[in-house]
Structure 1
Amino acid sequence: MQERDTNLSLYVHIPFCVRKCLYCDFLSFCPGGDNEKEYFKALEHEIECCSEANSEFEVKSIFFGGGTPSFPDSSYICKTLEKIRESFHVSPDAEISIEANPASAMSDKLKAFKAAGINRISIGAQSLNDEELRCLGRVHDSKMFFDTFDNARKAGFANINVDVMSALPGQSFDSYMETLKKVLSLGPEHISAYSLIVEEGTPFYDMDLDLPDEDTDRRMYHETKRILLENGYHRYEISNYAQEKHECYHNKVYWTRGNYLGLGLGASSMVDNVRWKNTSDFGEYLKKDDIRRDEQKLSLQDQMEEYMFLGLRLVKGVSISAFKENFSQDIYRVYGTIIEKYVSEKLLQINEDYLSLTDIGLDVSNTVMADFLLDK
């Protein structure tokens, strides 16, 4: 068996937003009264409580997500990061990221984030077409995005991700390409490009949306791969592209089943093959007692399944030798029939020690990855 992993990543959930976007199914809401102040007090308490139980770990990445972490006063975020540094063993070269909405990421906030030690910022552009942004319910316009990107550079951020979305209501192929090319002109180090998924429970789910047809959606997808590669961005995960040495460490922890601790309302964790999530009830979280829910010790089968369907999201794929090292079983004894099936269909390929999806396989990744669930 593999030696115990003593690296840890922290996810810090900031649930506050100016307004919930029409497609959003994340846990977020607009704060009222003293909610922000009380929330960050409870978050500080959780950090203190968790630090002792995880004292043997070295924190390699921290990710402030949401919600909109750039929405509250920057002092809340900076003090939270300071508390984490006091409570955990944070690596000197840890990747520390924050998500930012252009409508709330003002220049002074960006400077404060950088001064506090945050070294990576993820800006949610989604589109640079103002009509498409209005249709999404976003609170920013394209000018705000360009200003935010410029201010992030001026603040000293040398590692910037930009989120872009395709297959939006009313979006044409040409308007999507225009957004993508404008983003490329700025030279961010990382781009997350993904198609809109209309989730049940969101306002979009009950609306009659004018969505691009499937052929246009696929054309957007394939042109994204081509154009980003031509401009120096290698694809390392289904929806993520990076310039050299700028892959997101934190996100790869999820896909490779590393240890991560979720802090904050509704945050999920997986440490030493135990999964749980925090309560999603704001009042319960503020009480600071017994916030952990749905704890599950993963069986060997659970671990193998996750190793495959998460790891295959990576373009590099999964290591055949690491599978045996982790689980003391040969990957072909467990998954030989499935592997043989998809290799013959040219959806999977074997390259030395790695089993990965082919380009065609990546197009139908959900179908392939679902077959690696042993109890379907």
Structure 2
Amino acid sequence: MRKCPYCDFNSHERGELPEQAYLEALLLDLEKDLLITGERTVETIFIGGGTPSLMSADFYQQLFAGIRARLPLADKAEITLEANPGTTEAARFEGFRAAGINRLSIGVQSFNDGHLQALGRIHDAQAAITAANQARSAGFDNLNLDIMHALPAQTPEQAIADLEQAIALKPTHLSWYELTIEPNTVFYRSPPSQPDSDSMADTEQAGFALLNQAGFERYEISAFSQPGMACRHNMNYWQFGDYLGIGAGAHSKLSSHDTHGNLVITRYQKTRKPEDYLAAPAQARRNPQFIDGKDRLFEALLNGLRLVDGISLQTLKRTTGLNPAQWSPQLAPLQQQGLLTTNDERLRCTPNGLQHLNGVLETLAETL
């Protein structure tokens, strides 16, 4: 297994996978966190980062059994697994489905072999097509495909051709997003040549029209789904919900109330290096941070304004502990510029605001 040059996930190049040791570490990690979470019902599980589909179906059967033994797992929980195309992994799809995984997210990125090579992907276009078809045959009726645009030397026509091929495979969900160059990646140290901003904008508009014509609803800045098939797990993130992460490098955000009834929000992460995590999973929790006041509000807006429908003011009040009347007047300049709109119930970006979301967030960071 090797790491792609654009990837900033907590993934590591390694050979043999110590499945049983990692399984035991995950469950011990979970047990330690139960002291903080209590017995909350688990509504969604997302197994992502790196290449989790390299684990066996038996690993996941044991993992889910271990979770159920420690926490209530909702009968209709959404359980997503990220996978990369390739015949070795695709052959496992039936086992993953039998283990209880009911949503598959395949990291295709492109159907152009030249662009796949530039991205450092180990699969070719045909392997991606085969993987999507095999996932369907294995019983995955909730299927996401990840596709990138603004790739090195990619023309607008090539970007749209990728999207057309993805739509032809009949997924229920598409994540279509621009390649961004992240720190601590090979591409950051040696940036590739990408299309200019005008070309990117034209490609986006053409892609949005194509997706809409194919019945996909844009519900988040880079997420598109067939009706009723939005990713429940990610919706929880974007609406500033709580989540519990186990495993090397995993992050958690949990809300509670102190003895005076005040809302307390805590973030923490787990030991990043797999070998260190395996050596001491019971002591994996790191860097607890209490998110207070305006930082809490900004984080909630940072996530909620990614949604096309925005975020409800009631949700903001509940998740931040702050009354909108305290801070909403400060949004007036963004409203006057036609970037934000609000009523008595919801706050959202306008289409122009979504297109310039980074600028909107920079302004909020300065004014809130």
TM-score in terms of structure 2 length:
0.92
Are 1:56 and 2:39 an aligned pair?
yes
AA in 1 matched with 2:100: G
- The farther-off stretch of 97-106 and 49-58 is 49-58
Q: What is the match of residue 229 of structure 2?
A: 246
- In the alignment, does 2:351 pair up with 1:356? no
* Structure with more contact order per residue of length (Cα contacts < 8 Å, sep ≥ 6): 1
Q: Which residue of 1 aligns with 2:338?
A: 346
Aligned residues: percent identity?
Answer: 35
Q: Report the counterpart of residue 9 of structure 1 in structure 2.
A: none
The answer for the alignment partner of 1:74 in structure 2 is 57
Gaps of 5+ in 1: 1-17
Q: Is the contact between residue 173 and residue 230 of structure 2 (CA under 8 Å) also seen in structure 1?
A: yes
Given that 1:96 and 1:119 are in contact with CA atoms closer than 8 Å, whether structure 2 keeps it comes out as yes
With normalisation by structure 1, the TM-score equals 0.90
Work out whether residues 102 and 140 of structure 2, in 8 Å CA contact, stay in contact via their aligned partners in 1. Answer: yes
Cα displacement (A) at 1:327: 5.0
Residue type of the partner of 2:218?
R
Which string of whole-angstrom CA distances, capped at 9 and with x for unpartnered residues, describes residues 285-315 of structure 1? 1122321111012213332222222111111
Matched, 1:211 2:203: no
> C-alpha distance in 2, partners of 1:56/1:248?
23
Distance in 2, matches of 1:262 and 1:375, equals 32
- Using the TM superposition, give the Cα deviation of residue 41 of structure 1 relative to its aligned residue in structure 2, in angstroms: 2.7
Q: Which moved more, 1:222-231 or 1:72-81?
A: 72-81
For the 8 Å contact 2:87–2:131, the answer to whether it is kept is: no
2:270 aligned to 278, 284, 295, which one?
Answer: 278
What SS class does the counterpart of residue 289 from structure 1 fall into?
helix
Q: Name the structure 2 match of 1:288.
A: 281
Secondary structure of 1:269's aligned partner:
strand
Aligned residues: 358
Q: Does 1:319 align with 2:312?
A: yes
Q: Which residue of 2 aligns with 1:159?
A: 142
Q: Which moved more, 1:77-86 or 1:23-32?
A: 77-86
* Superposition map of 1:37-186 within 5 A: 37-51=20-34, 53-103=36-86, 106-186=89-169
* 1:28 aligned partner, one-letter code: S
- CA–CA distance in 2 between the matches of 1:114 and 1:77? 10
Q: State the alpha-carbon separation in 2 of the partners of residues 19 and 331 from structure 1.
A: 47
1:231 pairs with 2:214: yes
Q: CA RMSD in A?
A: 1.9
Structure 2 residue 350 is matched with structure 1 residue 365: no
Shift of the alpha carbon at 1:125? 0.8
* SS of equivalent to 2:160: helix
Shift of 1:33: 4.8
8 Å CA contact 1:48–1:87 kept in 2: the answer is: yes
Structure 1 counterpart SS, 2:53: coil
CA contact (8 A) 1:105 1:148 kept: no
Letter of the 2:271 counterpart: T
Q: Which residue of structure 1 aligns with residue 258 of structure 2? A: none
Aligned to 2:293: 300
